Structure 1
Amino acid sequence: MGKGFFISKAVGIVAIILCVGAVAVIIALSVVYSQEKAKNNNQVSPTDGGSTSNPPVTPSPSNEPWDKYRLPKSLVPDHYNVTLWPRLTLDATTELYIFTGDSSVEFECAEETDLILIHSNKLNYTKLENGHLAMLTSVNSGVKAPSIKYSWLQNVTQYLVLQLNGKLSKDHRYHLVTQFTGELADDLGGFYRSEYMEDGVKKVVATTQMQPTDARKAFPCFDEPAMKAIFYITLIHDRGTVALSNGEVKDSSNFPIEGHNVQKTIFEPTQKMSTYLLAFIVSDFAFINNTIDGVLIRIFARKPAIAAGQGEYALNKTGPILKFFEKYYNTSYPLPKSDQIALPDFNAGAMENWGLITYRETALLYDEAYSSNSNKERIATIIAHELAHMWFGNLVTLRWWNDLWLNEGFASYVEYLGAHEAEPDWNVKDLIVLSDVHRVFAVDALASSHPLSSREEDIQKPAQISELFDAISYSKGASVLRMLSDFLTEEVFTMGLQTYLGKFAFGNAAYTDLLNHLQMAVIANGIQLPDTVPNIMSTWILQMGFPVVTINTTTGVVSQQHFLLDPDSEVTAVSPFNYEWIVPIKWMKTEVVQEPQWLTDKSATNNEMKLSGADWVLANLDVVGYYRVNYDTDNWNRLVVKLRTDHELIPVINRAQLVDDAFNLARAKIISTVLALETTQYLNNERDYMPWESALSNLDFFYLMFDRSKVYGPMQDYLRKQVTPLFEYYKNMTLNWSKVPDGHMDQYNQVNAISLACRTGLEECQTLAKSLFSQWMNTNVNQIHPNLRSTVYCNAIAAGGAKEWEFAWSQFVKATIATEAEKLRSALACTKESWLLNRYLEYTLDPNIIRKQDATSTIVYIANNVAGQPLAWDFVRARWSYIFTEYGGGSFSFSNLINGVTKRFSTDFELQQLKQFKADNSVVGFGSGTLAVDQSIERTISNMKWISENQENVLNWFKAA
């Protein structure tokens, strides 16, 4: 390791920064973070663009390389040596948590240049003996490195800039050495700190989240996914703490430094990998472990969590999922270990750092006494998602972020396959239809949607990159890849996938590379398709949206058109295919599955789809296609009759599809809203989860539109009548709620039955919820089953007052199980008391009360409450600048926040408020929520039209039903 790390006297000085420079660094850092110029002769502040000598003056706006967000192609990193020392105690002088470090990167010059650009953000550099922020030496003794002329920090584009007195020689290698200090902040990005209480003592964890552009906050690096390198990581840390990184520990020993008896842990070099997949963590966590075929699997978490057995489920399921993916990819797991760690503070659900996967506690820890079956499913699917990335994303990595959809969409698809391997009795693979396909339809049906793949030149800034982490990339990506796998067959799909991984292992690729390998597999297997895989899939990847396929069973004509929730919305984005798709159609006539068809034009005639008598047609079997289906009125009526008379003749996934398609076609004015409502009339006989969940999801829109109107009462009466048989069914199945249904889906549907029955005012349900909660309050013994806690807590708090809320709050504050805290945090937003909701909103601004990772979702929980929505909207508008600044403009959750607080908007007054909000905060910005603002405006306009056109008909239908 460390080839060429100590290569000169000047470079040697770097190594002793940790030994002799810490005090000066700390003092300087206090100045930096006070936004003053650094006056210490050994420091330059990253906050003022300072330099060791005056940088060249350029006109504004400048077109210099350092003003561009993408790195030039002139330098290619080979390996890094990085040593970091995070301080887990607050410095009394600076009142900051900090880390110090030194770094050496060896790179090759691919093109002659007199400029070095390397990413750096919020790092404070120490002058080296050459008087600059870095030192450059040549690896080859026969080639002398040019001296540095100017060195400065370009903060907007996040570079350390080094202008040289001469040019670097093509094909020669150089070392760049730096010393730096950073704040170990609580901002959930880069190298940051997470805090928690244990036995009344505050504990601090130093941890990382690099994706997509925050490795540069930990050390200077070429922070782009194609700039793969090998990393030699060393961590200096307090004795008694555990240091983790991507590689295995090579050596760990006591290391006296500045009177501190600390520990120095050196890790084995990583594989060649991207900066965004790096991780290093210092904590005093405990772990459990297992070894599967030579791969060490460890689960790390807080000591009480490990002692309570909360890591056992993850440990037991990781091995089988890992083995499944080895078989699926036909490639052995490429690392000797698989560490997974649950963090108290973590912004994303989980992160696929190679060999050291980080999770929220709710995504990794399972406790049977507190965790519901949905908690368990989430753990299984997220572990599968992250392990899928170990090959697809980590071994072979996207070339640039415009192809993020392929990385995340693929993992979001195969997570269901991995989870099915771990829990084959759950039938979890079907749930992709509800969780991904139907979910993303709602976004992709807007005129302000975007294609899966963006142009590379359109994705430059960190905020633009963060904005791509949305439902389109994850859920649409998963949906179209599932469709592709289905029409190719899984055997052909995996064959193409395996050759793709073999070709690009340890390198980078674009989505077109995968499609080309899939086409090779198609040719090798003699699969007949209407066009090549790249040509078929380009219609789904390069244009936004999706089609509605209309089947006329009288004429046999099958046609397609771009589906828009608001047909009057203006689509300004130009489509390379004029919003036409090459559509695979799996279908059945009456009860017989037919030969699949392809729709390759705007319309075509299929005489087999002409009907006579009582026959009916059902298309998009199992919803494997990424499109909606419409029929002529007669066929719709026959399907509705079949639902009422013998609904089990229609596959369960397609019963869910019929409800979802009908309601959304009605919103788009393609069929009547009354026809959509008629698809719910059979629900009093339905006992399966997926159709009920689909119906409830769509009826949520009716609640959003009508829970402040005269429609609300009759709607409640109808839904109460429909859900009562389901409520009674589960009451009997569970022997008056004394046990849990056996089936995974039945456990979910039991929750639906109680939730809707209580929501619609079924007295027996409300009494049940209140009595269970009251018993807990009176005895301080919680006997509510974890599956039912979320809905029981919410309904009891909604029906109660301050006493119930304060009790739940006290339970939240002292909760040590993350899943239990999450259930309570959500339920606390259910109160009808405005003063409590306002107080709860204020709590989100204090990370000592509501963790930063939970702030935006708590606001959304409050906005979901009809009483809380206007309060949340006023709160967000009044505090936007603070929320945006404090909780990170690059946060992936900002689109969820904006959509969450505005989804009920349906009046012109609310529309004007939303437009004013956009205008008022144009300077502050919206970060990853920028597109969500436009989508919210579009959705509000659509809601206004829908209400004006449908309110009376809906009211009359509910009254008559």
Structure 2
Amino acid sequence: MGKQGFYVSKALAVVFIVLGLGALATIIALSVVYAQEMNRNTNGGTNGGTGTTTTTNNRPVTTAAPSNEPWDQYRLPKSLEPTHYSVTLHPRLKAQEGTGLYIFTGESSVDFHCKEETDLILIHSNKLNYTSKAGGEWAELTVVSGADTAPTITESRLQTETQYLVLTLDRKLTKNAEYRLTTTFTGELADDLGGFYRSEYVENGQKKVIATTQMQPTDARKAFPCFDEPALKATFDITLIHDAGTVALSNANSVNLTENADTETVFERTPKMSTYLLAFIVSEFGNITDTVDDIKIYARKPAIDAGQGDYALKITGPILKFFENYYNSSYPLPKSDQIALPDFNAGAMENWGLITYRETALLYDPEFSSNSNKERIATIIAHELAHMWFGNLVTLRWWNDLWLNEGFASYVEYLGADNAEPDWGLKDLIVLNDIHRVFAVDALASSHPLSSPEDAIQKPAQISELFDAISYSKGASVLRMLSDFLTEPVFLKGLQTYLQQFAFGNTVYTDLWNHLEQAVQDLEFNLPFNVTDIMNTWVLQMGFPVVTVDTTTGIVTQKHFLLNPDSEITTESPFEYENTHTHTHMLHYKQFLVKQNRLDGPQHGAPDFVLPKKPPQDTPRDAVECLLQIHKTHVNWSGELPQAIPVINRAQLVDDAFNLARAKIIPTVRALSTTKYLTGEMAYMPWKSAINNLEFFFLMFDRSEVFGPMQKYLQRQVQNLFTHYNNATAGYTADAVGHQNQYTQVNAFSLACRTGLTECQNLASTLFKDWMATGVNKIRPNLRTTVYCNAIAAGGVDVWDFAWGQFQKATIATEAEKIRYALTCTKESWLLNRYLEYTLNPTLIRKQDATSTIIYIAENVVGQNLAWDFIRARWPYIFSQYGGGSFSFSNLINGVTERFSTEYELHQVRLSLSFCFCFFSS
């Protein structure tokens, strides 16, 4: 380490690594508790107990009696298969007098084929109340074909644990006959962000209500009774009855609209599809249209009028055309609607023909939206449009293969967005956004394989847990690797024949391997091992290897890479990582090692470093020295850093060095020394890789005596970069030229302010105070998050209150998001406590944003303990409101504990776990 280094002894580094892993163990424990309570909620919650199986007037009565009967299994029996649904729904957008509840009423009929004789009908139903229609029963079973008469329903009940409507018949259904079950029901249009739910917003001082949907993974059953499994595809006729002046949307185009006191919109029949892809929405939204391709963007009318949907409309057509060429398949539907919702738990959802988004993921305003906001819109649109074929046209049979669905879309979103914005260099950014991200998760003993046995994923809670970084980011990473080593022509041919064969059907992940293997043979591609053998080592076992290359002998060895090498792995693996001369995760090393370089010209002996062609995790131990050698001999600030090591590999070397240090393979000081070369680095990716890894040190040290020296060292490292962009952009009043250069500009400003550079902090406060004084916000959209945060951190209550007022007035979702985050940066603990209380009030902080706001406060060193105390004190409420979110709640657990690194904090978590278990069992 040089004179200007940030020094950490090996012993101290090991202590912090161990403590960090202790904190990780608590996160895992909390996640287990979360999963258990999710299961409890799914299994009936407060309606649990022994229950009975009584019937009143033939209407279902709730029961939760445990047994080994079919209705206690979470998977439907194979006896019945739906073919068609007719669903009519009437959402009420005004609260009922007296109760204040918003409700919807509905009538649904499902035609199903009897594959096996049975006197039992099981159909999914959750939180629906069944009521008799005028002059008839609430349920009716009739014959469509193949039988003379239908059996009579003798008993009915709701099995809350498994979310079934259970109908017992007086005799068996006839094999191969077609029947129709018709039901009438009522449900609550709640604000729980799942199933058929309610979203609200204010326009011109008036509250507006939207009825909208989120079915994935298991919430179609909250909207109408259905066979709610992805393999049970059917066609759908949807009819919506809604208030005059509102617009109804669904997966298909409307074919008939009748206007009386209420409006009735009838939609065309859908293609054969899964229930989780259904959508229906009633709103007062406006839209803009691309009439050539029948593409529409829907949003609040002021947002549409302000042109916030224009960018999405501009890129949707080109991305759709790209995927038509990529898949060699026409877009499967006659229209493509996309809609921005004020309240939406996920980022977006690929409902077939009616994609739903958060406003921040679809709406763009150049005056307020940053460079990263624009990129997010492009990549999310590409992700969802990729699903129109891969996921919707061809659907995985069961949720255990979710990784292939989401991993594939997470990979090709970069291809689709790159086609729309070719100057951004998006294809490279998967390395930072997905590969590096998931390395940190997959290197834990708590990781899991991409694919699980089908019978291991049964309950809705277990399904929700699969929506994680492993499924999305590791799935994307291994598919990118697969496409790369097969070559794109081979990968595409296999993909295209896969989609052709299974269109409107269901598959398992090995079906894709089979088609890729056939493409290998058809195109006579020289592959020494078959696709299944190669990919199963990545799919069926958790983790990834650290590969060591002996550059003298050419011998390649590998072992399972774990951040804690002493971890006990309890998950059984069908393969062995410890394998010196054979392939388990890599093809033969000669296919990968293609470039050897010396920094100082050819010399005798071994090369200084090796660049693997297609690396999983591939840092030779002397690669760090290569970066330092560049720093010593090649850096010239007035020019470009020489490409002795390509930019992606520079980013990878930094990331690998820090991960290898955390795993005790190299000393921590050696990893930290990679930051020395950054004084001459101009590229975005290496800087971002370093900042991401240094975040761990900020978390571990920002309450310790070494934080000051750490800040000073990093301030010196970023000074040149900050000054460069200060000069190039007239004091940060303009944007840098180039997509990734704009990111580097933001990182320079952000890190300079974070490390206490006076010039940066004064500039942030000056820009913000000018806004307060003049009412005109001249801060560049790219810099607003950082400027707002630093100004609020340096200011008092007057600055905070001004920002809060701007947040309340914000009509642009991306601007509101920036301010909402910045408000958590204050150093005034009482303001942070007040802000925490605001998260309990949906009129102040939307439910979709509550958990992330708490996490932001916990990221503030002043707010860490406040957020931790807050969630413990409010645990019953927080869990009841947000415990069902597959992303938001697990992120909350991570967010409020990620700084924990001491025995005392571990003790606190253990005590809290005891409380949680007491609360759950009460």
Question: How far apart, in 2, do the equivalents of 1:724 and 1:582 lie?
Answer: 42
1:839-860 deviation per Cα after TM superposition (whole angstroms, max 9, x unaligned):
1111111111100000111111
Amino-acid identity (%): 68
Name the counterpart of 1:616: 608
Displacement, 1:665? 0.2
Displacement, 1:880? 2.0
**Number of residues paired by the alignment?**
859
Name the counterpart of 2:30: none
Name the counterpart of 1:264: 264
2:620 to 621, 628, 631: 631
Displacement, 1:358? 0.3
Name the counterpart of 2:309: 311
Change (3 A) 1:198 1:131: closer
Name the counterpart of 2:23: none
Name the counterpart of 1:568: 566
Name the stretch that deviates more: 675-684 or 874-883: 874-883
Displacement, 1:56? 12
Name the stretch that deviates more: 360-369 or 674-683: 674-683
Name the counterpart of 1:494: 492
Question: How far apart, in 2, do the equivalents of 1:890 and 1:286 lie?
Answer: 29
SS in structure 1 at match of 2:821: helix
8 Å contact from structure 1 (residues 554, 611) kept in 2: no
Question: How far apart, in 2, do the equivalents of 1:907 and 1:120 lie?
Answer: 46
Name the counterpart of 2:174: 169
Displacement, 1:50? 6.4
Counterpart AA for 1:861: Y
SS in structure 1 at match of 2:307: coil
8 Å contact from structure 1 (residues 614, 638) kept in 2: no
Change (3 A) 1:349 1:54: closer
1:351 to 334, 349, 362: 349
8 Å contact from structure 1 (residues 132, 148) kept in 2: no
Structure 2, unaligned runs of 5 or more = 1-43, 579-583, 635-640
Counterpart AA for 1:420: D
Name the counterpart of 1:444: 442
Change (3 A) 1:491 1:923: farther
Name the stretch that deviates more: 893-902 or 663-672: 893-902
Counterpart AA for 1:640: L
Matches within 5 A, 1:813-828: 813-828=808-823
Name the counterpart of 1:553: 551
Counterpart AA for 1:422: A
Displacement, 1:93? 3.0
Counterpart AA for 2:536: S
Displacement, 1:893? 1.5
Name the counterpart of 2:9: none
Question: How far apart, in 2, do the equivalents of 1:924 and 1:144 lie?
Answer: 52
Matches within 5 A, 1:560-959: 560-579=558-577, 581-584=584-587, 586-591=592-597, 612-613=604-605, 615-621=607-613, 624-625=614-615, 627-633=616-622, 636-646=624-634, 648=642, 649-922=644-917
Displacement, 1:155? 1.0
Question: How far apart, in 2, do the equivalents of 1:244 and 1:373 lie?
Answer: 31
Change (3 A) 1:49 1:206: farther
Displacement, 1:924? 5.8
SS in structure 2 at match of 1:629: coil
Name the counterpart of 1:112: 117
8 Å contact from structure 1 (residues 190, 215) kept in 2: yes
1:195-238 deviation per Cα after TM superposition (whole angstroms, max 9, x unaligned):
00000000000000000000000000000000100000000011
8 Å contact from structure 2 (residues 348, 380) kept in 1: yes
Name the counterpart of 2:280: 280
Change (3 A) 1:358 1:611: farther
1:683-716 deviation per Cα after TM superposition (whole angstroms, max 9, x unaligned):
0100110000000000010001111111101111
Counterpart AA for 1:331: S
8 Å contact from structure 1 (residues 133, 151) kept in 2: no
Counterpart AA for 2:812: I
8 Å contact from structure 1 (residues 643, 679) kept in 2: no
1:239 to 226, 238, 244: 244
Question: How far apart, in 1, do the equivalents of 2:818 and 2:492 lie?
Answer: 39
Q: What is the TM-score normalised by the length of structure 2?
A: 0.90
Counterpart AA for 1:746: N
Q: What is the TM-score normalised by the length of structure 1?
A: 0.87
1:160-213 deviation per Cα after TM superposition (whole angstroms, max 9, x unaligned):
100111000110000000000001000000000100000000000000000000
Name the stretch that deviates more: 158-167 or 518-527: 518-527
Counterpart AA for 2:505: G
RMSD: 2.4
Change (3 A) 1:611 1:564: farther
Change (3 A) 1:866 1:278: same
8 Å contact from structure 1 (residues 857, 897) kept in 2: yes
8 Å contact from structure 1 (residues 444, 546) kept in 2: yes
8 Å contact from structure 2 (residues 142, 181) kept in 1: yes
Question: How far apart, in 2, do the equivalents of 1:924 and 1:49 lie?
Answer: 31
Question: How far apart, in 2, do the equivalents of 1:319 and 1:128 lie?
Answer: 45
Change (3 A) 1:237 1:923: farther
Change (3 A) 1:592 1:273: farther
Counterpart AA for 2:538: W
Change (3 A) 1:628 1:738: same
Name the counterpart of 2:8: none
Q: Does 1:97 align with 2:102?
A: yes
Counterpart AA for 2:277: L
1:531 to 526, 529, 532: 529
Displacement, 1:508? 0.5
SS in structure 2 at match of 1:630: coil
Name the counterpart of 1:482: 480
1:907-938 deviation per Cα after TM superposition (whole angstroms, max 9, x unaligned):
11112222333343236669xxxxxxxxxxxx
1:758-780 deviation per Cα after TM superposition (whole angstroms, max 9, x unaligned):
01111100011000001001111
Question: How far apart, in 2, do the equivalents of 1:422 and 1:496 lie?
Answer: 25
SS in structure 2 at match of 1:695: helix
Q: Does 1:392 align with 2:381?
A: no
Displacement, 1:555? 3.6
Change (3 A) 1:80 1:681: same
Question: How far apart, in 2, do the equivalents of 1:620 and 1:468 lie?
Answer: 32
8 Å contact from structure 1 (residues 133, 152) kept in 2: no
SS in structure 1 at match of 2:319: helix
SS in structure 1 at match of 2:874: helix
Question: How far apart, in 1, do the equivalents of 2:294 and 2:380 lie?
Answer: 19
8 Å contact from structure 1 (residues 238, 263) kept in 2: yes
Q: Does 1:455 align with 2:459?
A: no
Displacement, 1:141? 7.4
Task: Tell me: higher relative CO, structure 1 or 2? Use CA pairs within 8 A at least 6 residues apart.
Answer: 2
Question: How far apart, in 1, do the equivalents of 2:177 and 2:650 lie?
Answer: 64
2:130 to 125, 133, 147: 125
Question: How far apart, in 2, do the equivalents of 1:749 and 1:567 lie?
Answer: 34
8 Å contact from structure 1 (residues 52, 133) kept in 2: no
SS in structure 1 at match of 2:414: helix
Question: How far apart, in 1, do the equivalents of 2:62 and 2:798 lie?
Answer: 65
SS in structure 2 at match of 1:265: strand
Counterpart AA for 1:619: L
Name the counterpart of 1:191: 196
Displacement, 1:638? 3.7
Name the counterpart of 2:141: 136
1:521 to 519, 522, 530: 519
Question: How far apart, in 2, do the equivalents of 1:518 and 1:612 lie?
Answer: 43
Name the counterpart of 1:380: 378
Name the stretch that deviates more: 767-776 or 883-892: 883-892
8 Å contact from structure 1 (residues 132, 150) kept in 2: no
1:645-666 deviation per Cα after TM superposition (whole angstroms, max 9, x unaligned):
3353110011000000000100
8 Å contact from structure 2 (residues 52, 65) kept in 1: no
Displacement, 1:722? 0.3
8 Å contact from structure 2 (residues 63, 159) kept in 1: no
Question: How far apart, in 1, do the equivalents of 2:645 and 2:869 lie?
Answer: 46
Question: How far apart, in 2, do the equivalents of 1:230 and 1:698 lie?
Answer: 49
Question: How far apart, in 2, do the equivalents of 1:518 and 1:898 lie?
Answer: 40
Counterpart AA for 1:428: L
Question: How far apart, in 2, do the equivalents of 1:405 and 1:238 lie?
Answer: 40
